[in-house]
Amino acid sequence: MSSRTDILERLAPLWQAPAVPARWVIWHRPGGESLVFDRELNMPLDVDFDLDDVVLGEVLRRMRAAGIPESDVYPGRPCG
């Protein structure tokens, strides 16, 4: 099992200065759930490790500090 520090290091690209338009967006879903959405792949971040609430909170905090955009509206392209 990876330590939280290892996980945060692997996710570091998420809070680098955003490109224009930003690849990563913090998407606020109904019900108060926040996800990291990958606009290049047109899907929520698919992680191969478990993000507990503490790690997800830290990822979102770092993304906000870097100026990553946030949206209540679906940030992806239409599927299909």
pLDDT (tens digit per residue) in 2-35 = 688 888 888 888 888 777 788 999 999 999 889 8
Cβ atoms of 55 and 61 closer than 8 Å: no
By C-alpha distance, which of 14, 54, 20 is closest to 36? Answer: 14
Domain contains 57: yes
Residue 27 domain boundaries: 4-12+23-71
Give the other-Cβ count within 10 Å of 44's Cβ. Answer: 14
> Which residue is listed with tokens 């997800």?
56
Domain contains 77: no
Structure-block tokens of residue 17:
């200065």
Domain contains 58: yes
Domain contains 17: no
pTM for the whole structure: 0.76
User: Is the alpha carbon torsion for 47, 70, 75, 22 positive or negative?
Assistant: negative
Vertex 6, ends 3 and 71: CA angle to 5°? 105
